[in-house]
Structure 1
């Protein structure tokens, strides 16, 4: 095969194109996710859902997404993550559009289940693609990709706020459909330029012996580091779930300020975007473990401030610091998972990605249970304490030492692509 032409800076043009394409996939996923979750009250009103029915609808997403992530990991091994994400993401945005258009409650359940399954598949494969591009560049890029996801989510939230305003005359189906059309266009445009990872059969052929294809279809991923990184991410996702689902309620009912209630989550998302925009530079300078340790420590301090807040503004500031710290832990976790899988099969990323949904479900159950038994201030104390676990597990995010095993040959420190 002839070497790829080099762009300025010594990186192959095909790799630069793949980086832009992966950004498009992250942007589309953030846009689609925010379009759905920010209009949940409208869906509740349309179908007259009670609290229990609404909880059942929302619980479908993380539970089914975990299944989608595992299935996508297996499919990526066989077919390559590029092929899987090119199918799953357009299907995801169409499922979101369907959720806004279905006229019946069974139809809503079916659409939301499809969204969950496809969201898990896209989450796993887009992070596999991001890890592959990061490996080609030989430097940290993951937090930047996640910053693009946050930018898409912010745009989706703004679009939802615009269309939900009284007098706009934009129905739910039209609002979801317009966002889906943008996402579909970006996804289809990005697809041909994604990183061309090799399916198991081709990896086996490259290995040179008859039995290597079967071996490649079952990549040996060490479970212990996967569990360590996944546990740290699950803890951070528990905190993320708490802030996303309960910060507004806490500020309004616990601290008595309806006016400042939306600002808690708004500040959290704003600093999440800021932290991810700066995170790659920090990783390159200080290393992943140091950044995770500092980020998890900042998230602990922020959530502790919000939990003990004497006034609403202090809670908003605490949630802002939580977002700044937690924002870098998640993408660095996917980068660490990629280093456990030198073949780039996507298996380790898919396994670690399950911690996203485990943390989300545990966070919702934990906060709701403690709040019902005591109050929301006590409920926020639980994920605050758990964040200390992420600080203690920060060392597991560092690259393995040379000679430490098969995972030591890949990762951001690998040789950049030269064509």
Structure 2
């Protein structure tokens, strides 16, 4: 019945007696254009994140000051929590998704032109707020579309996010090698985003506004949501921290001039893992996948700390990318099965735990690096990775 109900949401233009091939063609088209937005999201985020060392040097920030600036993003996202949850219950998700991508493009251009810390903080606030809104919208669409298929497809969406990140890092590496400054780089990315958004948003899923189970949205999350939130929290510490600090780690600890190498290998293995994660989950199950993810993160970080040279660090960052990849899409899929909340609200609630992880992760690394050194500070990622084991065991014990 859930599959039938989801089909009825696909488009107002398809009649209930439309041939099955026509319906599936429309569904596949919507999947394609939603995938395009996942790709674009990863591309934009990587375009900003891989330029962090450039921004740090241009504004003369030390590690602690950079950590304080990076606090802007999770704080902005936390402020956007009630807004994003309200939007996905009041409008078709394509509406906030479209508006948020346009704001995201404008803020990315502002980041590129930032000449003062206040200017940068303002741009990051808008960038993070818009990212928060379109992430909830995209993932709500992804969960709805997944109900129309006989196999899991959510991991592939997140794989395309990582692929976009790889392309973003690759483009950044190229423009840096060509001596292109940050201003034209990020302004061009912003213009590209605006064009794609106006073209592709018309083909997204329609009539997916949630109309039930949302009166409880502001109540205390139940244990089901709490455990899922904690899994996202620890994954966000690792994932967000690696986004923000992997380039600086390779620059300061590994002493590599091409500091994007660590970020690129991390994103590459994250993308690869997300494309195969759906098949891995179908083969071994979700509980063993959480265990495997946890061990990969822990071993990868440990290797990078104990042997801080190019190839051990590359292998270590590869393991971390492989380990973090499946956790968030897998957890969002479980959130869609909540009996208390609609998918949009469940994802919004769980994402709030991720925001806290993002809040603690990058700034924590900055403060620890300032107090001790950057290599020692990465122990925080190893701890967060290993915590996925006890939390996932508690969740599956609860839901069994």
- Of residues 252, 267, 270, the one that matches 2:268 is 270
Following TM superposition, by how much is the alpha carbon of 1:245 offset from its aligned partner in structure 2, in angstroms?
3.7
Q: Residue 235 of structure 2 aligns with which residue? A: 236
Q: Residue 304 of structure 1 aligns with which residue? A: 302
Give yes or no for contact 1:61–1:116 (8 Å, CA) kept in 2.
yes
Q: Secondary structure at the match of 1:182?
A: helix
State the distance in 2 between where 1:283 and 1:24 align: 24
**Is the aligned partner of 1:336 residue 2:326?**
no
- Of residues 290, 293, 301, the one that matches 1:292 is 290
Q: Name the CA shift for 1:310/1:181 in 2 (closer, same or farther; >3 Å).
A: closer
What TM-score, normalized to structure 2?
Answer: 0.84
- Of residues 91, 103, 110, the one that matches 1:79 is 91
State the distance in 2 between where 1:311 and 1:45 align: 23
Following TM superposition, by how much is the alpha carbon of 1:307 offset from its aligned partner in structure 2, in angstroms?
2.8
Counterparts of 1:125-144 in structure 2, within 5 Å, are: 125-144=137-156
State the distance in 2 between where 1:121 and 1:348 align: 14
Following TM superposition, by how much is the alpha carbon of 1:261 offset from its aligned partner in structure 2, in angstroms?
5.6
Following TM superposition, by how much is the alpha carbon of 1:296 offset from its aligned partner in structure 2, in angstroms?
1.9
Q: Name the CA shift for 1:190/1:283 in 2 (closer, same or farther; >3 Å).
A: farther
State the distance in 2 between where 1:397 and 1:83 align: 34
Give yes or no for contact 1:235–1:387 (8 Å, CA) kept in 2.
yes
Give yes or no for contact 1:97–1:173 (8 Å, CA) kept in 2.
yes
Q: Secondary structure at the match of 1:137?
A: coil
State the distance in 1 between where 2:142 and 2:393 align: 22
Following TM superposition, by how much is the alpha carbon of 1:180 offset from its aligned partner in structure 2, in angstroms?
1.8
Following TM superposition, by how much is the alpha carbon of 1:143 offset from its aligned partner in structure 2, in angstroms?
1.3
Gaps of 5+ in 1: 205-214, 405-419
State the distance in 2 between where 1:30 and 1:324 align: 16
Q: Secondary structure at the match of 1:12?
A: helix
Following TM superposition, by how much is the alpha carbon of 1:126 offset from its aligned partner in structure 2, in angstroms?
1.0
State the distance in 2 between where 1:268 and 1:56 align: 24
Counterparts of 1:9-24 in structure 2, within 5 Å, are: 12-24=24-36
Following TM superposition, by how much is the alpha carbon of 1:280 offset from its aligned partner in structure 2, in angstroms?
1.4
Deviations 1:280-338 (CA, angstroms, capped at 9, x unpaired): 11122233222222222222222222233274422221121111111111211111112
Deviations 1:235-257 (CA, angstroms, capped at 9, x unpaired): 12222244334445545655x64
Give yes or no for contact 2:143–2:343 (8 Å, CA) kept in 1.
no
**Is the aligned partner of 1:223 residue 2:222?**
yes
Counterparts of 1:314-353 in structure 2, within 5 Å, are: 314-340=312-338, 344-353=342-351
State the distance in 2 between where 1:35 and 1:147 align: 17
Give yes or no for contact 2:67–2:366 (8 Å, CA) kept in 1.
no
- Of residues 146, 149, 157, the one that matches 2:158 is 146
Question: Cα RMSD between the aligned structures?
Answer: 3.1
Deviations 1:124-160 (CA, angstroms, capped at 9, x unpaired): 1111111111122242111110111111122222222
Q: Residue 186 of structure 2 aligns with which residue? A: 176
Following TM superposition, by how much is the alpha carbon of 1:68 offset from its aligned partner in structure 2, in angstroms?
2.1
Give yes or no for contact 1:64–1:116 (8 Å, CA) kept in 2.
yes
Q: Secondary structure at the match of 2:205?
A: coil
Gaps of 5+ in 2: 1-14
- Of residues 112, 126, 129, the one that matches 1:100 is 112
Bigger Cα Rg: 1
